[in-house]
Structure 1
Amino acid sequence: MEQWKRTILIGNSYFNRGELIDAREQYLQALALAQVLFDRWAVADEAVAAFVISHHNLADLHLNLNQPEESAEYLCAVHQRLLQVIQDPQMAPDLRRAALRHSNKTYSELLGFVSQYGEYPRTQRLLGNSGGEHSRSALQHPAVYAGTHSYGVH
């Protein structure tokens, strides 16, 4: 966990200075660590949080690079993985519960993204009917989406 934290903090430092290519490299390293250690961390909630933050930081970064489709890919990837974990009886119960808790955040961020930037092929596939009119009306509710595009921790 400490190595992941250091990597994210370095990435955030680059991001805040506008050095987006260097930030991307750090965020990709952090994501790789989060993926490898996902079901090995002692605290399931920390593992899932690291996984979500890594994806969301990359989504933020790609928005800053004017690449919203890449952002959509990261937002979809994390949400889809959490849904898989929730449904996998082979996963530890603590990890499944943590994935369920964090999936609320990834879902609302994904809906907010679609509201602000429109749909992309992967968002349409992942959200299915939930990306349609029913969800659009839910987006009007402020509890679902705060209206910013800061998905990560920076």
Structure 2
Amino acid sequence: MQHWKRTTDNANRLFEQGELVDAREHYLQALALAQVLFERWHDVDEAVAAFVIAHHNLADLHLRLNQPHESADYLCAAHQRLLQASQEPRLAQPLREAALRHSARTYTELLSFIAEYGQYPRTERLLNRNAPETSELATQPDAAARPHAYGIH
């Protein structure tokens, strides 16, 4: 987990300095590490949080690059994986429970994103399949009032 944290810290530093190409490379490395740690790290909440943060950092980066479609893809990928993990019988129960707990945040972040940037094909497919009332929730005024910062910066 320390390697993931160092990689993420380096990426955040580059992001803040406006070195977005280099930041993206570090964020992608952090995502790869988080994917490996997801089922292997002893602290399931830390593992799931690292996975979510890695995706959300990339979503933030793509927003900075004015690429909301790619941001939507990363936000959806995180949420979809957590929903799948929460239902996978082969995963340990504590990991499934952590995935379900963290999916509440990924869901909220998706709704906030949609309120600000609108629907994209992947958000529409994911949320309409899992929650038909999503379009009503996304139009609530308090969802749009939050600043968009999905990662940890």
TM-score range, shorter chain: over 0.9
Q: C-alpha deviations, 1:49-85, integer Å up to 9, x for none?
A: 0000000000000000000000000000000000000
TM-score for both structures, normalised by structure 1:
0.93
For 2:17, give the aligned amino acid: R
Unaligned stretches of 5+ in structure 2?
A: none
Query: What residue number does 1:136 align with?
Result: 138
Query: What residue number does 1:103 align with?
Result: 103
Q: C-alpha deviations, 1:97-121, integer Å up to 9, x for none?
A: 1111111100000000000000000
1:145 Cα offset (Å): 6.2
Q: Aligned residue pairs: how many?
A: 150
CA distance in 1 between counterparts of 2:16 and 2:84 reads 33
Unaligned stretches of 5+ in structure 1?
A: none
Matches within 5 A, 1:1-154: 1-128=1-128, 129-132=132-135, 134-137=136-139, 139-140=140-141, 142=142, 147-154=146-153
CA distance in 2 between counterparts of 1:79 and 1:145 reads 19
TM-score for both structures, normalised by structure 2:
0.94
The question of whether the paired residues in 2 share the 8 Å contact of 1:124 and 1:131 is answered with no
SS at 2:147 equivalent: coil
Q: Structure 1's 145 and 38: CA in aligned 2 closer, same or farther, altered over 3 A?
A: farther
Q: Structure 1's 135 and 121: CA in aligned 2 closer, same or farther, altered over 3 A?
A: same
CA distance in 2 between counterparts of 1:111 and 1:2 reads 31
Runs of 4+ in 1 over 3 A off after TM superposition: none
1:90 Cα offset (Å): 1.1
1:146 Cα offset (Å): 5.3
Q: CA RMSD in A?
A: 1.2
